[in-house]
Chain A
């Protein structure tokens, strides 16, 4: 009786340990996610300043100098501004991108003239103040000095500063100006890299797993290969970066910073994961099915192609997608092959210089500009979204292929 009590108590205690472990783990996860989301969500909005633009339709837009015209239109709103330094302070509230936006606006107007308020991208310093990231102390807020602040207050009074959807974040590549910086270049670079990694490592991994598991004879040599592949899976990823640097850049002279090289390096890194997952998937195919096929007069290769491979496919795909997801989040090997460069163009082909998402996060996290903090978190959110999508794809494929019979 006494014993039973003791045993029950021990069981309850053990259960409690388990529950608290789970709670602690989930708490960590939520704190992390909350942190990223709360600081990153504001990056999807940006501050815009409304400017009253008046251009008569008679004017030939080809003769307009956009830079000068934009300045004129802005200064027109504050006729009292006289001194050079005041003018400069007012204009410094706009991003460099505002001029380009004005140019686009002129082109779209098609010589029909413009009349009304249009919205132009504000400078990152102002954006930080509007979003409350930088607090106001008296007449100053961070890099907004008292002179600039008078214009800010005046504009706000007329309700001419607004938060709108950030057009740049998802549509442009990196920039020195935080308000114009986006992650499209990094996303495209990452997609190219993992696509190449998949194309290279999937067939290589599956074929070597199939050969080692089903066709190779067992001897000391095959044991050594097996052990080495298992060891390879545990090699730190930066070592693969060095390998990529030595082989793909120095020996084959492929272009530096290109997603092609990044993809090949990630392929080498992913290969052992795919081989190990494929081998265990192939191993778990019931031998009775293969025997039945052989017994009916199918050759070994026919049996492999008709039964072993299709039955192992869900496991192989799951392993592959998990390997690719790991490659997507990998930074270190890409640093070694130069995908860490500051690139302002979205890469058009896998041979163009590019960064990758995790590297972009690394670069922005390193930047002293306050405005890059929220963009770092936003980039992390996008990376997490891609990882979640990949994992969902893995689950979907596994269920879909397995449910067949």
Chain B
């Protein structure tokens, strides 16, 4: 583990209109590690995740104060371009959401958008590289130009990961990426996460404590919009400092 700070969240408060969703959250996320956010439904995990690539901008009623620093720069200052930010911070959603286009076009969308490829060959190699990294290439190499929506759920989710990888992000946010998948597909995604963390910083929201224990290096436990406890995963699960964490892990709440 590199122990190099990638994302630092300081005193973050988020409001949806009058309702406060996050209370004074402070969290450090290290480079090339998997950090998982766990906690009961509605505790603000997804809200926190969306603050990291400013997806909350899309919601009119959402306001925030505090700081989110990526590589030491505040991402919420007016001169920061959210479009550039989102190409640096990729996102994988809860439900697989491939575009209604071919597998190839799904992956090529990001590179085309940002003008990353100079030629057709370059674009081809980018698509193949991303699909290979997402562990999908061998399964789809003979039908790259068929609909992405025709794949199975697990394949669709890996396609979405490949699509996110294609724009060369540094950070990948995953919002319960396995909640719509069966155990075998889930296992494949988890293997993939293990693979990807060598190159990328990964933040994953999950409902499954087993999953958090399996894939993540560090874990943060949230409750009612507050960050209760964070630290190395093995410490959190074996020796939680806080009563609420203990209750959640042992299944008493949540």
Residues of A at the B interface (CB closer than 8 Å) are 217-218, 286, 288-289, 291-299, 302, 306-307, 311, 404-405
Contacts and interface: CB of A to CB of B under 8 A. Distances in A.
Nearest to B60: A217
Contacts of A405: 100-101, 147, 149
B100 A297 contact: no
A299 B90 CA distance: 15
Contacts of B126: none
Q: Which of A292, A293, A294, A306 has the most CB of B within 10 A?
A: A292
B53 interface: yes
B66 to A, nearest CB: 22
B178 interface: no
Given A286-B97, A295-B90, 8 more contacts: A289-B99, A291-B97, A292-B99, A293-B109, A295-B55, A296-B164, A311-B100, A405-B101
B126 to A, nearest CB: 13
A297 B99 contact: no
A222 B125 CA distance: 47
Contacts of A292: 93, 97-99, 160, 163
Contact of A297 (B58, B101, B147, B167): B167
B93 A295 contact: yes
B200 to A, nearest CB: 15
B86 interface: yes
28 contacts: A217-B60, A286-B97, A288-B95, A288-B97, A289-B99, A289-B100, A291-B55, A291-B93, A291-B97, A292-B93, A292-B160, A293-B109, A294-B58, A294-B86, A295-B53, A295-B55, A296-B87, A296-B90, A296-B163, A296-B167, A297-B84, A297-B85, A297-B114, A298-B109, A302-B113, A306-B109, A405-B100, A405-B149
A291 B98 CA distance: 11
B22 to A, nearest CB: 20
Interface in B154-197: 160, 163-164, 167
Interface string B78-90: 0000011111001
A294 B90 CA distance: 10
Is chain A's interface secondary structure helix, strand, loop, or mixed overall?
A: helix
Q: Which of B85, B100, B110, B147 has the most CB of A within 10 A?
A: B100
A297 B166 CA distance: 12
Contacts of A289: 97, 99-100
Nearest to B149: A405
A324 to B, nearest CB: 27
Nearest to A296: B110
B12 to A, nearest CB: 20
Contacts of A297: 83-87, 110, 113-114, 167
Contacts of B55: 291, 294-295
B91 interface: yes
Contacts of B97: 286, 288-289, 291-292
A405 B58 CA distance: 28
A299 B83 contact: yes
A322 to B, nearest CB: 24
A217 B113 CA distance: 27
A273 B237 CA distance: 59
Contacts of A311: 100
A186 to B, nearest CB: 43
A379 to B, nearest CB: 44
A177 B82 CA distance: 73
A288 B94 CA distance: 10
A294 B53 CA distance: 10
A306 B112 CA distance: 12
B93 A288 contact: yes
Contact of A296 (B58, B95, B101, B109): B109
Contacts of A306: 109
Contacts of A217: 60
Interface in B34-80: 53, 55, 58, 60
Contacts of B99: 289, 292-293, 307
Contacts of A299: 83
B144 to A, nearest CB: 14
Contacts of A286: 97
B251 to A, nearest CB: 31
Given A217-B60, A404-B100, A298 B93 contact: no
Pairs A-B, 5 closest by C-beta atoms: A297-B87, A288-B97, A295-B91, A297-B86, A405-B100
A295 B95 contact: no
Nearest to A300: B58
Given A291-B93, A405-B149, A296 B86 contact: yes
Nearest to A307: B99
Contacts of A218: 60
Interface in B122-140: none
A306 B113 CA distance: 10
B70 to A, nearest CB: 15
Contacts of A293: 99, 109
